[in-house]
C-alpha cells in the first residue's frame, strides 16, 4: 500500500498483514498490543500455555516481571562472568587444536553448554548431549506446521518437549527435597521469585518459561557468535581495532585474563561491533501475532482473525536509516542513534526479549577472549 510499511498476503493458509515501517511496528507493539493482539505462533502445545510468549494482558505483565527479575539480577550477571569465561577459553583452545572448524556447529555446542550452566547449573556431558539432541528436535517443531501426526517434525518436537520437561521437573523436585543445595542460577531465581501478593510461580509456569529461556538464550547467541566470526574474518581492520581495545583493557587490569561486568563499560568499540552484528544477523526477524479485533492504523482496517507479522529486520537494512546498509561498519554507531522503531534486534514494545542483556554479555566475553588470544 504505497510507502506505508503495510502490505497484505496469504501465508500457510491464513490471510496475513505484514507491517515493516518503524511507525507501523511501533503502533502495533504499543498499547494496542495488549488489547487487540493475541499469540498466533508458535503453538502453545510446544511453548506451554504459561510461557511468557503465549500469555496475554495482566498475566503477561506478571510473568514478565518474574522472568526479568530472574535473569537480570546484578549478582546473576556478575556470576555469569565468572562461570562462563572458563567455558569460552576451553572451547577456543579446542577449536585451535582442531585447525579447521565448522563455526555454526561449534557455536551451537558452546552456547548450549553455557546456557544450561547458567540456567540450571547442569555440567554433565551425557545429560547435556541428550538435552541438546532434544532441543534441536524441539526447535525444528517450532518452525513446522502444527500437525501432530507420527513422522512429522511437530510430533517429534512434542516428544522432545516431554523429555526435556521430565529432566527439568526432576531437577525442580530434587531442589525442593534438598533445600541445602545452594544452587545459584536462573532456575533457582525463578523458583524463589515472589509476586506482589506473596505468591510463587506454579511448577507449570516455571517449566514453560525455562524452556522458553533456553530458546531465547541458545538460538540468538549461537547465531550471533557464528556471524561475528564471519564478519571478523571478512573485515580484518575491525578485528584489529577490536584487538587493540581489548588488549588495552587487559593491560589496565594488570594482565588479569578474566573480564568483569564492570569492564564492559570501557568496551565502547566492542559494543559497536555487537550492535552491528545484531543489526545484520539478528535471529528475531519478525514478531507473529493474531488480531483479536479490528484495528485501525492510519485509515487501514486490519480485520479481526487475520494473522499479523511485525517485520523488524527490514529496517535494519534500509538505506533510509543506515548508509550502505549491507556493509559491516561498527563506526556507523558513532553517529546519532537510529530513530525509535528502526533498530529492534530483540523485539520491541511489551514483547522485548527479557534475556537481551544476557545475550549481549555473552558476546562481550566471546569477543574479548577470541580477539586477544586467537
Binding-site residues sit at: 353
What's the rounded Cα separation, in Å, for the pair 210 and 187? 7
d(CA 27, CA 297) in angstroms, rounded, equals 8
- In the three-class reduction of DSSP (H, G, I as helix; E, B as strand; rest coil), residue 230 is classed as helix
Class of residue 253 by CB neighbours under 10 A (exposed 0-12, middle 13-18, buried 19+): middle
Residues 6+ apart with CB under 8 A from 95: 101, 106, 374
CA distance linking residue 189 with residue 119, whole number of Å: 9
Task: Output phi, psi for 353, to 5 deg.
Answer: -60, 125
CA angle 198, 204, 210 (to 5 degrees): 95
CB 298 within 8 A of CB 244: no
Q: Nearest to residue 19, comparing CAs of 2, 33, 4, 34?
A: 4
Pairing status of strand 300-302 against strand 295-297 = antiparallel
Residue 310: its H or E element: strand 307-311
Residue with cell 550502505: 324
Tell me the binding residues for heme.
353
Amino acid at each position: 500500500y504505497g510507502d506505508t510499511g503495510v502490505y497484505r498476503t496469504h501465508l500457510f493458509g491464513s490471510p496475513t498483514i505484514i507491517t515493516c515501517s518503524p511507525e507501523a511496528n511501533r503502533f502495533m507493539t504499543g498499547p494496542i498490543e495488549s488489547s487487540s493482539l493475541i499469540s498466533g505462533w508458535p503453538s502453545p502445545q510446544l511453548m506451554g500455555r504459561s510461557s511468557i510468549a503465549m500469555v496475554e494482558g495482566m498475566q503477561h505483565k506478571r510473568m514478565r516481571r518474574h522472568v526479568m527479575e530472574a535473569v537480570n539480577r546484578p549478582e546473576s550477571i556478575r556470576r555469569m562472568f565468572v562461570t562462563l569465561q572458563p567455558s569460552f577459553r576451553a572451547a577456543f583452545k579446542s577449536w585451535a587444536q582442531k585447525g579447521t572448524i565448522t563455526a555454526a556447529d561449534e557455536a551451537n555446542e558452546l552456547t548450549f553448554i553455557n546456557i544450561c550452566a547458567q540456567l540450571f547449573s547442569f555440567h554433565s556431558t551425557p545429560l547435556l548431549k541428550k538435552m541438546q539432541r532434544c532441543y534441536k528436535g524441539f526447535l525444528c517443531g517450532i518452525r513446522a506446521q502444527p500437525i501432530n501426526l507420527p513422522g512429522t517434525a511437530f510430533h517429534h518436537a512434542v516428544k522432545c518437549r516431554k523429555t526435556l520437561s521430565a529432566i527439568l521437573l526432576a531437577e525442580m523436585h530434587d531442589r525442593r527435597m534438598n533445600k541445602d543445595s545452594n544452587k545459584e542460577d536462573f532456575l533457582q531465581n525463578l523458583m524463589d521469585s515472589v509476586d506482589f501478593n506473596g505468591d510463587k510461580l506454579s511448577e507449570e509456569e516455571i517449566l514453560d518459561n525455562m524452556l522458553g529461556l533456553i530458546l531465547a538464550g541458545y538460538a540468538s547467541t549461537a547465531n550471533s557468535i557464528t556471524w561475528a566470526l564471519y564478519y571478523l574474518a571478512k573485515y580484518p581492520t575491525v578485528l584489529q581495532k577490536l584487538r587493540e581495545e581489548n588488549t588495552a583493557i587487559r593491560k589496565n587490569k594488570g594482565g588479569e585474563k578474566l573480564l568483569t561486568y564492570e569492564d564492559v563499560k570501557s568496551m565502547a568499540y566492542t559494543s559497536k561491533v555487537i550492535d552491528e552484528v545484531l543489526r545484520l544477523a539478528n535471529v528475531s526477524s519478525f514478531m507473529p501475532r493474531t488480531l483479536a479485533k479490528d484495528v485501525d492504523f492510519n485509515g487501514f482496517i486490519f480485520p479481526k482473525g487475520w494473522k499479523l507479522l511485525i517485520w523488524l529486520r527490514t529496517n535494519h537494512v534500509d538505506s533510509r536509516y543506515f548508509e550502505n546498509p549491507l556493509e559491516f561498519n561498527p563506526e556507523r554507531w558513532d553517529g546519532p542513534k537510529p530513530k525509535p522503531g528502526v533498530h529492534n534486534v530483540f523485539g520491541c514494545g511489551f514483547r522485548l526479549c527479557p534475556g537481551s542483556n544476557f545475550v549481549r554479555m555473552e558476546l562481550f566475553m566471546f569477543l574479548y577472549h577470541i580477539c586477544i588470544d586467537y
